[in-house]
Copies of this chain bind each other. A is one copy, B any other.
């Protein structure tokens, strides 16, 4: 054969050798269709991973890692990158060995297998799940340089599951049944009290995320979906639902997930996740590499109250705002993606985004939150985030006044 005959001259040509020379991937066969029965990302995307912050917790089995929001786009979080939060490690459960019990103030206490659950009518819904502690480390002030860490305790996927009301109806909730205790099968036996009104409204008992089975770290084989409400309530490895007439005041709704105010009082049962947004690019982990000119400012917004109606973006630290373009599906209690396409003049920016939801709630400043609640709250920090984009394109987490 005449291999290379045409190449000798080519390599002498003007222009980018990546174009003028035949590259290996344009000549030799790549991997076959048998190489990856279950596919994975390119080796060039190895940096796109969940990351934890070791000093945050005493034990990595009761800890959190964070979604790399700065690397993602659109409104769907890929399953492999959904942040993890668990209190006794990831339970590995054979679905054949899993049971879901409903008891308490019901006519007929019942036990379901996974097969049983899959015989009820199903629904598919896109919902964000945000940990109430998301941005909690930022309560006292700018601390972490990267939206993965400041805002990465959130993900948004499509759930397939059975409306919880069908299961409750099957057992027959007594009229005295006003609260529901949901319990997990993991080593923390996670429990939360949920008011019956919410349970009968839009909760799902979900076995799939983004089309495939739930991931183990998200509660495989089955989890509770509590749309718009704090992630801790979305009990994973769901094994038990008890109907009662009062809340249980479990550890996760007393010691934790209560909001200490300046006056020493603490709010309890703060369930709804408030309207919130963050610019994901540029951000500290996603600096501007290309200098001045066209710049895509991109971010996500969400609200536990329903859809996001509008997102405004400021490039001067909140003095002036422009309404961003919300792109892609706008679904209730789901992430929304927004963009502001600007022509950057190369001077430093103080980037902020401010979301407004369908009920008219507007994302507050961090100072407004501190004024209302003091400095000792941890949860429900939905304050406006500021990124300082410097002339060299690097970005820092700052606060402004």
Which A residues are closer than 8 A to B by beta carbons? 16, 18-19, 23, 25-45, 48-52, 59-61, 63-65, 71-82, 84-86, 88-95, 97-99, 101, 111, 115, 118-126, 158, 160, 185-187, 189, 208, 210-213, 215-217, 220-221, 237, 289-290, 293-296, 298, 325, 327-329, 331, 337, 339, 341
Point out the residues of chain B lying under 8 angstroms from A211, CB to CB: 72-78, 81
Q: In the docked arrangement, what's the CA distance between A210 and B126, Å?
A: 13
Contact of A61 among B29, B48, B77 (CB under 8 A): B29
9 residue pairs A–B, Cβ–Cβ below 8 Å: A29-B88, A30-B186, A35-B90, A38-B50, A41-B215, A74-B124, A120-B294, A121-B325, A124-B328
Point out the residues of chain B lying under 8 angstroms from A99, CB to CB: 16, 18-19
Contact of A18 among B25, B78, B97, B337 (CB under 8 A): B97
Copies of this protein chain in the complex: 2
Contact A215 to B42, CB < 8 A, known contacts A18-B99, A121-B339, A290-B119: yes
Smallest Cβ distance from A298 to chain B, in angstroms? 7
Contact A79 to B78, CB < 8 A, known contacts A33-B65, A40-B38, A187-B30: yes
The dominant DSSP class at the A interface is loop
Assess whether A341 is in contact with B34, with CB atoms less than 8 Å apart. no
- From A26, which residue of chain B is reached at the shortest CB distance? B185
- From A118, which residue of chain B is reached at the shortest CB distance? B296
Smallest Cβ distance from A300 to chain B, in angstroms? 10
Point out the residues of chain B lying under 8 angstroms from A91, CB to CB: 25-26, 30
Smallest Cβ distance from A373 to chain B, in angstroms? 28
Besides A31-B90, A44-B221, A73-B124, 8 new A-B residue pairs in contact (Cβ under 8 A), listed by A number: A26-B187, A29-B61, A30-B88, A36-B80, A41-B212, A42-B216, A44-B95, A72-B208
- Leading 4 A-B pairs by shortest Cβ distance: A30-B89, A124-B328, A32-B60, A37-B49
Q: In the docked arrangement, what's the CA distance between A29 and B189, Å?
A: 11
Point out the residues of chain B lying under 8 angstroms from A52, CB to CB: 33-34
Assess whether B185 is in contact with A65, with CB atoms less than 8 Å apart. no
